[in-house]
């Protein structure tokens, strides 16, 4: 089946089997189409079961980017069920959704090397099909890009982004998602001028207003970080179009994430602190430090959220040292070493969603501190 319309094929085989019996009593052709019908029914049952299992897992992560250890046994169960299902046929959907289900298992286990291998296998099979499925290739590529970025395999991540941009229609949701991953990669590799260009490309497109609200909020967080980087002298290109940043307006524009105590609150509060330091508004910093401390106690644990926990402790030390640069850097030396020893996790399964790597954030923040405090 070139186009893999399994449901339509079932309907046609059923009609053709009935037609050859009713019109001609042709048992040979009836048997042929009836056998195809039985095979297609098994294939269709497997397709819809896998798709339902996949969406069940995905539903936990759409608006809540927190770690969910309970997903691991669920994903394992679903993959085993898929492997045990009987089907002599395959299809584009079975390849696409089946690999995504396996990938969801490896991602839930934070096994990024396995994820990359699965993505590469899936892409090879999808790209060998006679008809290109842009949506399927994009969906698998997104997981590949995120995993490569996590493992600092930046060239492979960039290649994945370029693959997507070559086949995607500009302005479609998949195009915006690719730009979001490109933005993250640029920020994690300190290509801040490129990040600014990607931001402009995405937010100036007429289709931006039509993407999901929680996607738009991610771009609002990107904008805040770009504003900070511009103020810290890290964005060299002309960036006059970045509007002046207002903390209160920013919070009003990210209602989903600001309410989500298990997702994006760390980068939201940290960027507020960074901009307040940039503007020497130390009273705002102290308020935000208190908010971060409470957040850490309520929602973060060192086992699953080690990097965020370390960084928040460093911010607390900074306040206790009255924002004095040398003393802050000295007192946080060991915490910074602990932070650097733990890998970044940029995937949807983690609290530690770092728009800007925390080591880079710390470097820029401490460079803004006065020598004698305030």
Domain ranges (residues) in the chain? 1-168
pLDDT confidence bin for 3, thresholds 50/70/90: low
303-310 mean pLDDT: 77
Q: Nearest to residue 307, comparing CAs of 253, 345, 364?
A: 345
Distance between CA atoms of residues 196 and 183, nearest Å: 8
| Cα 174 to Cα 216: distance, rounded to the nearest angstrom | 14
d(CA 58, CA 63): 10
Query: Which pLDDT score, from 0 to 100, does residue 2 have?
Result: 45
CA distance 73 to 105: 9
b/e burial code for range 44-54 (CB count within 10 A of at least 16 → b): bebbeebbebb
The predicted model gives 29-52 an average pLDDT of 92
pLDDT at residue number 167: 96
> Where is pLDDT greater, at 321 or 268?
321
DSSP 180-203: HHHHHHHHHTT-HHHHHHHHHHHH
Q: Lowest-pLDDT range, 33-47, 76-90, 157-171, 174-188?
A: 76-90
| CATH assignment of 1-168, among 1.25.40, 1.10.10, 1.10.12, 1.10.490 | 1.25.40
Q: What is the mean pLDDT of residues 231-256?
A: 69
Q: Looking at residue 254, what is its pLDDT?
A: 63
**pLDDT tens figures, 332-354:** 999 999 999 887 765 543 444 68
* Residue 321 to residue 315: CA distance in whole angstroms: 10
Instruction: Tell me how far apart the alpha carbons of residues 101 and 297 are, in angstroms, rounded to a whole number.
Output: 34
Taking the C-alpha atoms of residue 336 and residue 341, their distance in angstroms, rounded to an integer, is 9
pLDDT level of residue 290 (50, 70, 90 thresholds): confident
Mean pLDDT is highest, among 56-70, 150-164, 275-289, for: 150-164
pLDDT of residue 226: 92
Digit-coded pLDDT (tens) for 100-131: 999 999 988 889 999 999 999 999 999 999 88
Mean pLDDT for the stretch of residues 177-185:
96
CA 374 to CA 363: how far, in whole Å?
Answer: 19
For 188, 334, 343, 358, 369, the CA distances from 337, given in Å and listed in that order, are: 19, 5, 12, 12, 20
List, for residues 154-173, the tens digit of each pLDDT value: 999 999 999 999 999 999 99
Contact at 8 Å (CB) between 188 and 145?
no
Percent of the chain residues topping a pLDDT of 70: 87
Question: In this structure, what DSSP letter does residue 151 have?
Answer: T
269: left (phi over 0), alpha (psi -120 to 50) or beta: alpha
Q: Which tokens hold the place of 132?
A: 């290109």
Model pLDDT, residue 262: 47
Tokens of 81: 């069920």
- State CA 203 to chain mean position distance: 18
User: Which of 18-27, 94-103, 268-277 shows the highest mean pLDDT?
Assistant: 94-103
Burial class (CB in 10 A: 0-12, 13-18, 19+), 99: buried
- Token pair, residue 6, equals 């399994």
First to last CA, the chain: 72
pLDDT of res. 120: 97
Count of residues for the chain? 374
Q: What is the pLDDT of residue 294?
A: 79
Q: Pinpoint the alpha helices (H) of 232-332.
A: 247-253, 255-259, 265-278, 282-299, 306-320, 325-331
Pick the most confident of 176-180, 210-214, 288-292: 176-180
Distances (CA, A) of 244 to 214, 228, 240, 268: 22, 10, 9, 17
Distance between CA atoms of 179 and 264, rounded to whole angstroms?
19
The average pLDDT across 301-313 equals: 77
Please give the average per-residue pLDDT across 50-78, as a whole number. 84
């Amino acid at each position: 089946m070139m186009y893999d319309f399994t449901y339509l094929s079932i309907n046609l085989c059923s009609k053709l089997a009935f037609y050859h019996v009713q019109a001609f009593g042709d048992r040979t052709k009836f048997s042929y189409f009836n056998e195809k019908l039985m095979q297609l029914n098994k294939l269709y049952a497997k397709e819809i079961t896998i798709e339902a299992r996949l969406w069940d897992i995905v539903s936990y992560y759409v608006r809540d980017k927190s770690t969910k250890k309970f997903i691991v046994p669920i994903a394992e169960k679903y993959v085993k069920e898929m492997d045990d299902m009987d089907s002599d046929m395959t299809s584009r959907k079975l390849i696409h959704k089946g690999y995504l289900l396996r990938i969801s298992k490896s991602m839930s286990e934070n096994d990024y090397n396995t994820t990359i291998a699965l993505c590469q296998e899936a892409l090879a099979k999808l790209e060998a099909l006679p008809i290109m499925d842009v949506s399927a290739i994009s969906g698998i590529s997104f997981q590949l890009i995120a995993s490569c970025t996590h493992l600092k395999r930046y060239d492979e991540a960039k290649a994945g982004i370029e693959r997507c941009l070559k086949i995607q229609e500009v302005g479609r949701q998949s195009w915006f998602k690719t730009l979001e991953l490109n933005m993250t990669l640029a920020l994690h590799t300190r290509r801040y001028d490129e990040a600014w260009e990607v931001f402009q490309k995405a937010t100036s497109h007429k289709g931006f207003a039509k993407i999901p609200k929680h996607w738009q909020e991610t771009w609002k967080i990107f904008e805040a970080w770009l504003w900070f980087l511009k103020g810290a002298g890290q964005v060299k290109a002309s960036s006059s179009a970045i509007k002046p940043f207002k903390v209160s307006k920013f919070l009003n524009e990210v209602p989903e994430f600001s309410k989500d105590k298990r997702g994006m609150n760390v980068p939201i509060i940290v960027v507020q602190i960074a901009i307040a330091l940039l503007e020497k508004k130390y009273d705002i910093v102290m308020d935000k430090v208190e908010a971060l401390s409470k957040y850490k106690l309520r929602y973060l644990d060192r086992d699953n959220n080690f990097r965020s926990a370390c960084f928040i402790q460093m911010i607390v030390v900074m306040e206790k040292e009255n924002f004095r640069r040398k003393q802050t850097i000295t007192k946080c030396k060991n915490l910074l070493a602990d932070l650097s020893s733990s890998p970044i996790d940029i995937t949807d399964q983690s609290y530690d969603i770092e728009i800007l790597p925390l080591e880079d954030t710390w470097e820029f923040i401490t460079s803004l501190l006065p020598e004698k405090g305030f």
